[in-house]
Amino acid sequence: MNGSNQGKPWRILIASSHPLFAKGLRSLLEERREMDAVVVGLVATIDEALTALESLQPDLVIVDYDDERVNRDEFLARFVEGEGRLRVVLLSLKEGGSEAIVYDRRTMAASQIDEWLEMWNENQAPFIPPGISPGKGTPQIPKPRRRDSMKHFIAAALVVIVLMAAGLYGYQQINLLPEQASLQGASIDNLFGIHFIAIIVLFSLIVGLMVYSILVFRRKAGDTSDGPHMEGNTKLEVAWTIVPLGAVLVLAYMGGTTLGDIQALPDQKPLQVKVVGSQWAWRFEYPELGIISTELVLPVDEQALLELSSTDVIHSFWVPEFRVKQDALPGEDFVRELRVTPTQIGEYKVRCAELCGRLHHAMESPVKVIAQQDFEAWVKSKTVACTGPVECGNLWYQQFGCQACHSIDGSVVVGPSWKGIFGKEESISDGTSVLVDHDYIVESIRNPGAKITAGFQNLMPANIAANMTDAQIEDLIAFIESLK
């Protein structure tokens, strides 16, 4: 062995649980008299080794680093912590033969500690210091291996940060959402913003690490060996379970408070609007104002309490600029509420957002948000009475949704056109024929399925006239009669 021991023999401790290794090595050392070494102990377990380090004060410990029963971390920790001169030689009997590494406690650098651990964990053939060949020569302290792990983390982090920055910058430049036109929308858009940023950050994190790995950790041509044996790390697993758990709980909590915000009751009484969906038109009734309309007109900055229902299948009320949506269900026990406080004057559209049959794609109505005084003027104009049965009939034709399915110009929309049908002889789906007179029209409105015109389907909602008075039906008949 190189280096003097000030004339004293080298005191050597051998740590291995393989008796053949330990005793064989001892015989070898003892044979080589010129080395002036004396084996002061053979230990098989870590506890014995640590005890022996104290009690025997060896100058050199030779460790069998294949031995998985030796607790490497602890041994290393003790080795590094202790005072006094001590060197360790790590030997392996596995492939590659008898390469050895020497560490000297006094001169050991932090980087060497990492290397040692890494190497133990990875179980690769140890770095062969220059000038060493197996079985002869004097071991020198090897150059520290490049400490790759920290370098990779930093470089990958840079990739991630660049991606995040690019993503966040791009996000600032575009508008992902339509204009915001309601108070509820303000809370919701706030939450959207948090979500979008979280998406950009997390996407950059994972994709950044992936891209870095794909570019950097490639197998070199001809290398058939495996990668490092990294099985896992419980602390890391716990961390990346607990942290996301905390994050989703926070997000859920924020979602809950936002939901509370958007359902908040207003300071003053809201404007009540009954919204009725039918295949395939909307009707808006203002019961307190006595108005039925085919457009939803709302005063700005006042909460509207929409009471949604359907006369047939499930529809859904949605104005994208308002951000809130609610299904309109059939059945008188199933009226559902939606509160909207429009904050921006303008014209929007409500479009049905639940598949409701053939014309679902076209089931839309105008939504107009206007100033308070304009709204009052509108109310006045709608409650002007119509004069005469034909004019009133025309009004009911629009307000009760007949317009959605029956044209007055001869074209077929969904049901027969009203142009010229009064007084006609029509064939019915069961093969008979009927005269389109006053009584037939009353029956067709009150009991739509009774006699369906041949060639048409039974699509008229059974209760479409639930809110129509007999007088209104008389007006409608007068109107139909007038359509020659």
Partner 1 sequence: MNLFKLSLVRGLIAQFLGTFAGVLLTIIIRVLVGLPAWKSEPVFVGGALVGVVAFMFGTGVLNDWIKWTKGEETPEPPHDSDGLKGLAKYLHVSYDHKVIGIQYGITSVMVLLVAGLFALIFRTELAQTGLQFLTEDGFNTMISLHGIVNIGGILMGVGAMSNFLVPLMIGANDMAFPRLNAFAFWINLPGIVLLMSTLLIGGVDAGWTAYPPLSSNLVKVGFAMFFLGVYVIGLSSILGAINVLVTTLRMRAPGMTLFRMPIFVWSAFATAIIALTATQLIGLSFQLVLFQRLFGMDFFNPLEGGNVLLFQHLFWFYSHPAVYVFVLTGLGVISELLPVFARKPLYGYRWVAMSSLAIALVGFFVWAHHMFTSGMASYLRVPFMYSTLLVAVPTGVKFFSWIATIWRGKLTFPTPMLFVLGAISIFLLGGLSGPPNATVATDLHLHDTYFIVGHFHATMFGGYIFPFFAAIYYWFPKMTGRMYNERLGKVHFWFMLLGFYVQSIMQMEVGLLGMRRRIADYDPALGITFQQLLITIAGFVIATGVLVFLVNMIISVRRGAVAVANPWRSRSPEWQIPSPAPAHNYDTPLEVVGEPYDYGLPGSVYTRESSPPAPPVSAPAAAD
Site for partner 1, residues 236 to 275, rule: CB under 8 A = 236-237, 240-241, 244-245, 248-249, 251-252, 254-256, 258-259, 261-263
Site for partner 1 in 296-315 (CB under 8 A): 312-314
Q: Applying CB under 8 A, does 170 fall inside the site for partner 1?
A: no
The reply on whether position 366 binds partner 1 by CB under 8 A is no
3 state SS for 267-280 = CCCCEEEEEEEECC
Footprint of partner 1 on 440-459 (CB under 8 A)? 457
Q: Are 278 and 461 in contact (CB under 8 A)?
A: yes
Nearest residue (CB) to partner 1, 131 versus 193? 193
Burial class, 298, CB count within 10 angstroms (exposed 0-12 / middle 13-18 / buried 19+): buried
Shortest reach from residue 360's CB to partner 1, in Å: 6
Name the nearest CA neighbour of 311 among 219, 434, 405. 405
Burial of 467 (0-12, 13-18, 19+ CB in 10 A): middle
Comparison of 364 and 391: residue with beta carbon closer to partner 1: 364
Interaction of residue 209 with partner 1, rule CB under 8 A: yes
Determine if 229 is a binding residue for partner 1 (CB under 8 A).
Answer: yes
Residue 71's nearest CA partner among 31, 120, 22, 109 is: 120
CB atoms within 10 A of CB 10: 19
Binding status of residue 160 toward partner 1 by CB under 8 A: no
Q: What residues from 325 to 344 belong to the interface with partner 1 (CB under 8 A)?
A: 325-327, 329-334, 336
Q: Which position among 117, 165, 166, 355 is part of the footprint of partner 1 (CB under 8 A)?
A: 355
Nearer to partner 1, 127 or 196 (CB): 196
The single residue among 357, 379, 417, 434 that binds partner 1, judged by CB under 8 A, is 357
| Alpha-carbon gap, residue 263 to 171, rounded angstroms | 29
d(CA 241, CA 148): 27
Does 169 sit near partner 1 (CB under 8 A)? no
The CB-of-462 to partner 1 minimum distance in angstroms stands at 8
Which of 93, 141 has the CB closer to partner 1?
Answer: 93
Contact set for partner 1, span 176-205 (CB under 8 A): 176-178, 187-188, 191-192, 195-196, 198-199, 202-203
Burial call 266-276: b when 16+ CB within 10 Å, e when fewer:
eeeebbebbbb
